[in-house]
Amino acid sequence: MKIRKPDFDQIITILTALLMAALLIVPMGLSPVWNGEIANHHNQYEKIAESFLHGHLYFEYNDVEEALSAMENPYDPAARDALGIDLHVDHAFYNGHFYMYYGVVPAVLVFLPYRVITGRSLTTYHATQLFTLLSTAGIFLLFFRLRKRFFPQMPAWLVRLSAAAVSLASLWYAADAPSLYCTAFTAAICCMIYSFLFYLEAVFGETGKSRAGRPAAAFLGGLCGALAFGCRPPVALANLAALPLLKVYLTADSDMDSGKESRREKVKTVVSALIPYVVIAALLMWYNQARFGDPFEFGQAYQLTVADLHSYGSISETFSLSWELRSLYENFFGFYGFSEQFPFVQYGGVFVNFPMLLLVFSVLIPSVRKKLAERKLYGFALVLFVLPILITLIDALWSPIIYERYRMDLYYLMGLLAFMAACCIQEAGREKERTRAERILAAANILTIAQSILLYLVPYDYNASAWFEWFTR
Residue 130 Cα distances to 109, 110, 135, 311, 417, angstroms: 11, 9, 9, 37, 25
Proportion of the chain above pLDDT 90, given as a percent: 68
**310 DSSP 8-state letter:** G
- Contact between 359 and 423 (Cβ < 8 Å): no
Sign, CA dihedral 33-402-458-332, equals positive
- By C-alpha distance, which of 162, 164, 148, 128 is closest to 197? 148
Closest to 470 measured CA to CA, from 461, 423, 359, 248: 461
d(CA 46, CA 115): 9
- Mean pLDDT of all residues in 259-283: 90
Q: What domain count does the chain have?
A: 1
H or E element that contains 171: helix 156-176
233: Cα separation from own chain's centroid: 10
Q: What value does the mean pLDDT take over residues 284-308?
A: 90
Largest CA distance in the chain: 74
What are residue 92's DSSP bridge partners?
99, 303
Q: What is the pLDDT of residue 376?
A: 96
Q: Residue 257: is its pLDDT beyond 50?
A: no
- Structural domain includes residue 166: yes
Cα dihedral 256/258/261/267 (nearest 10): -70
**pLDDT range class, residue 378, cuts 50, 70, 90:** very high
| Predicted local confidence at residue 2, as pLDDT | 56
CA atoms within 13 A on the CB side of 324: 12
Q: What is the DSSP letter of 303?
A: B
Tell me which amino acid residue 61 is.
Answer: Y
Integer angstrom CA distances of residue 231 from 223, 297, 424:
13, 14, 33
Using CA atoms, how far apart are residues 444 and 311, in angstroms rounded to an integer? Answer: 44
* 176: nearest Cα among 466, 431, 468: 466
Evaluate whether 163 touches 143 at the Cβ level (below 8 Å). yes
In single-letter form, the type of residue at position 201 comes to: E
Q: Are 339 and 465 in contact (CB under 8 A)?
A: no
Does residue 113 have a pLDDT over 90? yes
DSSP line for 20-34: HHHHHHGGGGS-TTT
Q: Are 156 and 192 in contact (CB under 8 A)?
A: no
Query: Which residue(s) pair with 303 in the sheet?
Result: 92
pLDDT tens string 197-210:
999 999 997 755 55
Stretch 460-471: mean pLDDT: 77
CA 295 remoteness from chain centre:
24
Q: Tell me the three state secondary structure of residue 92.
A: strand
* Residue of higher predicted confidence among 149 and 398: 149
Residue 310 has pLDDT above 90, yes or no: no
Question: Does residue 101 belong to any structural domain of this protein?
Answer: no
Cα separation, 425 vs 419, in Å, equals 10
What confidence tier does 3 reach under pLDDT thresholds 50, 70, 90? low
Flag whether pLDDT at 403 surpasses 60: yes
Domain limits for position 166: 1-41+124-176+312-473
Residue 307: inside a domain:
no
Q: Quick check: is 198 in a domain? A: no
**Cα distance between residue 410 and residue 423, in whole Å:** 20
Per-residue pLDDT at 319: 75
- Count CA within 13 A, CB hemisphere, residue 89: 14
Q: What is the pLDDT of residue 304?
A: 87
Query: Minimal CA–CA distance to 229: which of 179, 272, 287, 271?
Result: 287
* pLDDT of 337 higher than 50: yes
Q: What is the pLDDT of residue 253?
A: 58
- Comparing 24-38, 119-133, 156-170, 296-310, the range with the smallest average pLDDT is 296-310
Q: What is the mean pLDDT of residues 424-440?
A: 86
Give the burial string for 438-455 (b: 16+ CB within 10 Å, else e): beebbebbeebbebbebb
Collapsing DSSP to helix, strand or coil, 4 comes out as coil
End-to-end CA distance of the chain: 62
In-domain check, residue 5 = yes
Residue 316 in domain: yes
**CB contact at 8 A, 92 and 303:** yes
148 belongs to a structural domain: yes
Between 323 and 273, whose confidence is greater?
Answer: 273
CA 171, CA 396: separation in Å to the nearest integer? 21
Strands (E), 122-264: none
Instruction: State pTM to two decimals.
Output: 0.93
Q: Is position 449 within any domain?
A: yes
Can you tell me the distance from the alpha carbon of 379 to that of 373, in angstroms, rounded to the nearest whole number? Answer: 8
